[in-house]
């Protein structure tokens, strides 16, 4: 088994409970997601308290990957951190001036990553690659860059390059797209009745960035697409993960489940959810497991250990851990350095072309807002 366990958990508050120490010490646990409840804004120096909490966690498990959702619109830590612009704000800047929008996206991704790394956090689960649309959890919260998939790729690429310049691996979410589905998967299992052809614009962002080798991890959505897989939401689907994400989109990195405590992941009890996700995911996120839910998770972990995971999962987690270790050797935070722009952005506007082609003209003039005509290729989704 990999030294990096497959389960990602969270903490109930600002101090470690004894049962949480037991949870963190379990070999099946390899990741920790921090939330707002773990950051005490009322303290004179909440950042120092966060560092102390992280240090206490690392005494229990030195190699644990510490993560947070800190993407601008979702902003877990405020006091002591720069307010990063939302993806939507970056997209609006692009609409006014494409060159400035691309520059801003790079700067924001780099600064966000620098500040988190300096605090002891390994990964921000960003960027969001969903298209702007009616989603209650994406568009309504200003988490999408744009409604045009070509513009999403351009801005996400710069955000990613900024994060990587700071030394932070990236997580693209929520495959194959949550922006155009209205319901919130935290509260229900959304259904997207579109045909495979109609899903192409959403899929475009993930395939393009995957083929460019820019995504270290991908988080699938808890959404049912019955015209592709009538039985399983994307995060549990071999069709979506193995056939489409890995084969068609050529994604080689870690597949990290979205939180399995969400209503959209309700396929049974704690063990059933973990076991179902493990068939296709490399990391299994089960956060907000407090009180009785914590006891159930502690009971499920020994059972999960007996189940064989999907092929290559352990190796992919190790590769992600190595990427994190490489990032920890980067220079300390320098807010001025986050404003540097890659030479190719100044001279060309973008780097390599994706398979299927996206014109450099998109960096010279505002791209059309309607992405309905975008097609990766003439092939249908291969199921």
| Residues designated catalytic | 186, 258
Question: How many other CB atoms are found less than 10 A from the CB of residue 337?
Answer: 15
Tokens of 147: 């409604």
Of 287, 285, 264, nearest to 274 by C-alpha is 285
- Specify whether the CB–CB gap between 112 and 163 falls below 8 A: yes
CB-side exposure of 227: number of CA atoms within 13 Å?
Answer: 10
In angstroms, rounded to a whole number, what is the distance separating the alpha carbons of residues 298 and 315? Answer: 25
In angstroms, rounded to a whole number, what is the distance separating the alpha carbons of residues 352 and 242? Answer: 26
Query: CA torsion angle for 127, 131, 136, 139 (degrees, to 10)?
Result: 80
Q: Which residues contact 270 (CB under 8 A, 6 or more apart)?
A: 286, 289, 293, 296, 297, 299, 300
- Specify whether the CB–CB gap between 17 and 41 falls below 8 A: no
Cα–Cα–Cα angle for 265, 157, 221, rounded to 5 degrees: 10
């Amino acid at each position: 088994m990999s030294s990096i366990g497959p389960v990602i958990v969270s903490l109930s508050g600002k101090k470690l409970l004894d049962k949480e120490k037991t949870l963190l010490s379990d070999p099946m646990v390899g990741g920790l997601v921090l939330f707002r409840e773990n950051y005490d804004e009322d303290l004179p120096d909440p950042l120092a308290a966060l560092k102390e909490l992280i240090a206490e966690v690392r005494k229990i498990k030195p190699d644990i990957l510490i993560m947070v959702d800190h993407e601008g619109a979702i902003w877990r830590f405020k006091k002591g951190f720069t307010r990063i612009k939302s993806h939507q704000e970056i997209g609006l800047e692009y609409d006014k001036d494409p060159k400035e929008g691309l520059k801003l996206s790079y700067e924001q991704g780099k600064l966000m990553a620098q500040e988190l790394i300096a605090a002891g956090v390994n990964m921000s689960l960003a960027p969001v690659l969903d298209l702007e649309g009616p989603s209650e959890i994406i568009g309504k919260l200003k988490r999408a860059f744009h409604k045009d998939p070509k513009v999403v790729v351009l801005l996400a690429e710069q955000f990613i390059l900024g994060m990587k310049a700071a030394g932070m691996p990236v997580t693209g979410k929520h495959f194959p797209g949550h922006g155009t589905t209205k319901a919130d998967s935290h509260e229900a299992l959304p259904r997207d009745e579109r045909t495979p052809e109609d899903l192409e614009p959403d899929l475009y962002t993930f395939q393009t960035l995957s083929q460019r080798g820019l995504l270290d991890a991908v988080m699938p959505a808890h959404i049912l697409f019955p015209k592709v897989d009538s039985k399983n939401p994307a995060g549990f689907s071999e069709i979506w993960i193995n056939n489409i994400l890995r084969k068609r989109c050529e994604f080689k990195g870690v597949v990290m489940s979205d939180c399995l405590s969400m209503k959209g992941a309700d396929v049974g009890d704690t063990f059933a959810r973990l076991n179902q996700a493990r068939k296709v995911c490399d990391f299994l996120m089960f956060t907000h497991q407090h009180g009785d839910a914590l006891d159930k998770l502690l009971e499920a972990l020994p059972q999960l250990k007996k189940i064989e995971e999907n092929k290559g999962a352990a190796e992919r987690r190790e590769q992600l851990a190595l990427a994190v270790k490489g990032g920890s050797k980067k220079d300390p935070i320098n807010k001025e350095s986050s404003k540097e722009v890659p030479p190719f952005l100044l001279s060309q506007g973008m780097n390599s072309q994706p398979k299927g082609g996206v014109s450099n003209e998109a960096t010279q003039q505002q791209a059309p807002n309607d992405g309905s005509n975008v097609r990766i290729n003439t092939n249908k989704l291969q199921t």
